[in-house]
Structures are given as structure tokens and as C-alpha cells.
Amino acid sequence: MFIILLKLVFAAILAFLLGMFLYNGQTARIFAFVCVGSTLVTITSIYFFQIAGFPWYGDPGRLAAQIVSALGFIVSGLIWMGEDNKIRGLNKAAALWIISITGIVIGMA
């Protein structure tokens, strides 16, 4: 239990610091929420099948794999064409997608 809490706290701190370094405070909180959520879903998908004792009924990587596709769908809404025909939000969308993958890695460690 302590290891799980340690992973969640580490994910929150790492994502918050990266968000503060790259953007501002509001974006840092979003980064922390996404990273902690990804970590929690990954931990749940791994430990659920270990606790249930039925590893042949499902793949523990399926739930964690859906994080990447779901965040890809969500961050596509951050990308838009500005008034001056320049693409906006691409860096923030890519950073949010990468921070979710970082959460998966922390959850698997």
C-alpha cells in the first residue's frame, strides 16, 4: 500500500514540476491530474488481476493501453487553427500526451 501511495505522490510531484517549468500553475495542475490518473489506472489494471487470482480471464495491459488512445482523443481538442492561420496548442497537446505515458511508466515501475 505504501508503494502505491509513493508512486502516486511521485507522479503528482513530477508532473506538477514539469507543468510549472513548461507552462503555468493551471496547466501544472492539469498535468498532475493526468499523470496521477494514468498511474492509478495502470496500478489498478496490474494489481486487479493479481488480487483476483484469475490472470487467464484478461490482459492487465488492456486498461493501461486505453489511456493512450483516450488521451489522444482528448488532446486533439487542444489543437486548433488560429486567426492568423497558425496552428495553436500542438505543444501543449503533445506534452499532455507524453505526461500520460510517463504516468503509465510510473505505474508499471
State the residue range of the domain holding 46.
2-108
pLDDT for the residue numbered 105: 93
pLDDT, one tens digit per residue, over 37-79 is: 999 999 988 887 777 666 566 677 788 888 888 888 888 888 8
**What pairing do the DSSP bridges indicate for beta strands 80-81 and 87-88?**
antiparallel
Rounded CA separation 104/40 (Å): 8
Residue of 42, 27, 44, 24 lying closest to 96 (CA atoms): 27
Taking all residues of the chain, what is their mean pLDDT, rounded to a whole number? Answer: 87
**The overall pTM is greater than 0.75:** yes
Give the number of domains in the chain.
1
Q: What's the CA gap between 69 and 45, in Å, rounded?
A: 16
How high is the pLDDT of residue 36? 96
